[in-house]
Chains A and B, each alone.
Chain A
Amino acid sequence: MARMKFLCDADRCIECNACVTACKNEHEVPWGINRRRVVTINDGKPGERSVSMACMHCTDAPCQAVCPVNCFYTTADGVVLHSKDLCIGCGYCFYACPFGAPQYPRVGNFGSRGKMDKCTYCAGGPEADGTAAEYEKYGANRLAAGKLPLCAEMCSTKSLLAGDGEIIAQIYKERVMKRGYGSGAWGWQTAYRETIAV
């Protein structure tokens, strides 16, 4: 079974934010919620790097561990998904997440959080694959249709890679060998407790 991962080759990311837009459009993500975002580090200085980040679908995911109602589950592909029917909007996954992935629609008084929303790796939720109920809550289920996440598929510089961890790590390694440099797989150490040794 594949172990699905994301890898952003920061030496290729041009901060076009197309992945962000593609994600919002594909899943009809509500206003104010960003399942994916592009962060530019050292903006305007020599050596600045942009990294596209969403839920990294961590190994032994912290969100899953701290959820007080156990609404998370990890699929056989290593994708971390959650049930919006079980989520109580407590915000604990947000405290635990190293990548700021969980997002909450504001539904009530104070900062009252609605059901959490996050990147699904274009793999929907617990509902039957491809159903309207699934689409309404989690967006499109591309993985069930044999397609990879749209953000990575349409990345113009192929900076953002999605797919089996070993395969995308191999692609990244080959790139680094060929061009002679690479600033590393951002977030991998934190998410998967491993880096790509080149």
Chain B
Amino acid sequence: MTKFLSRVSGMAAALALLFMLAAVSPSIAQQPTPVNPTASSVKEQQLLQELNRVEGRISIPDTKEGVLIQPAGRGWRFFHEVVLRWIGAIALIGMLALLAIFYLVRGAVKIAGGRSGRTILRFDVLERAVHWMTAVSFIILALSGLNITFGKPLILPLVGPEAFTSLSIAFKYAHNYLSFPFTLGVIFMLFLWLKDNIPNELDVKWLKQGGGIVGDKHPPARRFNAGQKGVFWIVVLGGSIMAISGYILMFPFYGTNIAGMQWAQIFHGVVAVLFIAAIFAHIYIGTLGMEGAFEAMGSGEVDVNWAKEHHKLWVEEMGGKSTLTPKSRMTPAE
């Protein structure tokens, strides 16, 4: 009984205290607590302004999921959907147009002295094999890559979604796997042709005279003239950028994050379309644009007169150690 009484009196005292408090400050009892927990809390807008992303801790094993918001994807989207398409269209169509105009105005570069009927070995079997391995890989890589950027507006409406997906999946695998022979080819090219591609004073002269392409004079050149050296360095440097950025994209999150992959894709895309445009010019001058040029990578043997006109110093250097093959030995007399 006394226990009960003391409990009741205790409760009464507590109640009385509450009423007193309520009387002193009625606002506290009626309104929410004046402590604002968000005053000290993290704020999305502030975090986004500071870092352009919101990141925290996550309890699942996939720690990269700790990035909560990263609006940078919107910038990358603009690049991929708008900027890259413009750069690509201008570079590729522009280059094709330039080459077409050049062909119509200048025409093919002929062998001024006509064919001699005698040939000289310009690229041996290894060099040609490396060239064509790289070239075939490059063409398929280029087509499958362009499909990712231009396929949606150009091919998808023609073939329909299912067929376009089948094509794109095949292209994706081709793109991934052919990157290896391509990269290997670029490395081989570097070792095969580096010694002949160091820029020197002859290249300055060659460039000043427009390489004999614009005018009719053929400035002297050793094994490779300045234009060919340019192609070599475009392939080696462009190919390296393509390979590095490509492998970053192929191996997601190995030493990079989303922002890194966005940048890798930007480099990959821009360098790719410029690279393809440059290779258009290379293909043009190696086939349509110059008489006697294709044989260098075809049979490997070029006409001696062609060689003398374009690579005078090289022919002189080779004169001693190379056997000049009479063409008549391989093809019957006309």
Contacts and interface: CB of A to CB of B under 8 A. Distances in A.
Interface of A: 10-11, 15, 17, 20, 32, 34, 37-43, 46-51, 53, 62, 65-71, 83, 85-92, 94-100, 110-113, 178-184, 186-187, 189-190
Interface in B65-84: 65-74, 76-77, 80-81
Given A62-B74, A70-B161, A95-B73, A51 B68 contact: yes
B258 interface: yes
A121 to B, nearest CB: 18
Contacts of B60: 20, 34, 37
Contacts of B68: 39, 41, 51, 53, 99-100, 186-187
B165 interface: yes
A105 to B, nearest CB: 13
Nearest to B34: A180
A96 to B, nearest CB: 4
Given A70-B156, A86-B162, A11 B38 contact: yes
A68 B152 contact: yes
Contacts of B57: 39-41, 43
Contacts of B72: 98
Given A39-B55, A100-B67, 9 more contacts: A70-B161, A85-B165, A87-B165, A92-B265, A94-B252, A98-B73, A110-B251, A180-B32, A180-B33
Nearest to B61: A32
B209 interface: no
B58 A181 contact: no
Contact of B55 (A41, A68, A113): A41
Bin the interface of chain B by size. 35 or more
A64 to B, nearest CB: 10
* Leading 9 A-B pairs by shortest Cβ distance: A47-B41, A41-B56, A47-B40, A39-B56, A43-B57, A96-B73, A181-B38, A39-B68, A62-B77
A186 B48 CA distance: 11
A112 B148 contact: no
Interface string B131-170: 0000000000000000111011000100001101100110
B21 to A, nearest CB: 20
A189 B59 CA distance: 26
Contacts of A83: 161
B59 A17 contact: yes
Given A42-B56, A70-B156, A183-B43, A90 B148 contact: yes
Contacts of A97: 73
B54 interface: yes
Interface string B28-59: 00011100111111111101100000111111
Nearest to A42: B42
Interface of B: 31-33, 36-45, 47-48, 54-60, 62, 64-74, 76-77, 80-81, 147-149, 151-152, 156, 161-162, 164-165, 168-169, 172, 176, 249-254, 258, 261-262, 265
- What is the predominant secondary structure among interface residues of chain B facing chain A? helix
A98 B69 contact: yes
A181 to B, nearest CB: 4
Given A85-B162, A184-B44, A95 B59 contact: no
Contacts of B76: 66, 95-96
Contacts of A100: 64-65, 67-68, 70, 258
A85 B161 CA distance: 10
Given A47-B41, A99-B69, A66 B168 contact: no
B42 A179 contact: no
Contacts of B147: 68
Contact of B250 (A10, A111, A181): A111
Identify the interface centre among B59, B147, B152: most chain A CB within 10 Å of its CB: B59
Contacts of B258: 94-95, 100
Contacts of B54: 39, 41, 186
Nearest to B39: A181
B42 A49 contact: yes
Contacts of B55: 39, 41
